Each structure stands twice: as structure tokens, then as C-alpha cells.
Amino acid sequence: MNYKVLKDIKTMGGFILSIMLIIIAVALAANDNDFWVFCVVVSMLVFAFSVKRADNIYKLENGNINQKNLKDVKIIAGYIASLLLGVIALVLAAKAHDLWVFFLFVFLAVSALIVVRANKRYKED
């Protein structure tokens, strides 16, 4: 990371919040509280969004980002949908439910479609 990313309050706040949520999850798990799974999932989401924001800031500084991909609603919605499907798969796997495999495959399919769409948009420029 460069200094511009380290100065960004939202990015660094997301990283710090993610670490704090993991610490809370460990404390909850040590006390046999099932709420720790929620803290881990939220921590993963916050961390993923913080990494994405840091990557965008870094690429904007170096001129390596396609502005159309940031404004394409379908690409952003696909990223959010794939994150939610991944979280649902994790929660179902933690509960030992058989449906988690289906959500995992849907997560992979949505992720692949979004990557293909983003690549097409990038090549159009």
C-alpha cells in the first residue's frame, strides 16, 4: 500500500474494524456464544470492501483503472451479490446444512460472470 491508501480514513477504518470484529469473535467463541460466526462473516465482508477500496485508490493514483467499471451498476451489483452468496454458503456450512454446496456453486458462477463482464467493458475502451 502507498501513503494515499494509508491516509484514507474509510479504508483504514475498515481494516481496523475487521481486526476488532475478529478479536470479538474469538472472545465470543471462548465463551461458547454462537454469535461469533456472525462477527467472523461481517469481518470478512468489511475486510473485502476495504481491500477493494484500497485497490481502487491505488489504481486511480497510477491511472490503471477503468472508470466505466466503477460506474456500471450491473458489475457493482454482481460484486455485492457474489459476496452475499459467499456469506450464505459460509453460514450454511457452519450450520452443517446441505444447501451450502448449491450456494457455493451459484457464488462461483456469479463471480465468473462478473469478471467476464468487467473484462469486456475494459476491452471496449
- The whole-number pLDDT of residue 18 equals 85
Of 64, 79, 111, which marks where a domain is finished?
A: 64
Q: Are residues 73 and 113 in the same domain?
A: yes
What average pLDDT does the segment 65-82 reach?
Answer: 65
Of 64, 91, 116, which marks where a domain is finished?
A: 64
In this structure, which long-range contacts are made by residues 81-89, counting pairs with CB atoms below 8 Å and at least 24 apart in sequence?
A: 81/110, 82/107, 82/110, 82/111, 82/114, 83/45, 83/48, 85/110, 87/41, 87/44, 87/45
Give residue 44's domain range.
1-64
- The whole-number pLDDT of residue 77 equals 72
pLDDT confidence tier of residue 35, bands split at 50, 70 and 90: confident
Residue 89, pLDDT above cutoff 80: no
pLDDT confidence tier of residue 53, bands split at 50, 70 and 90: confident
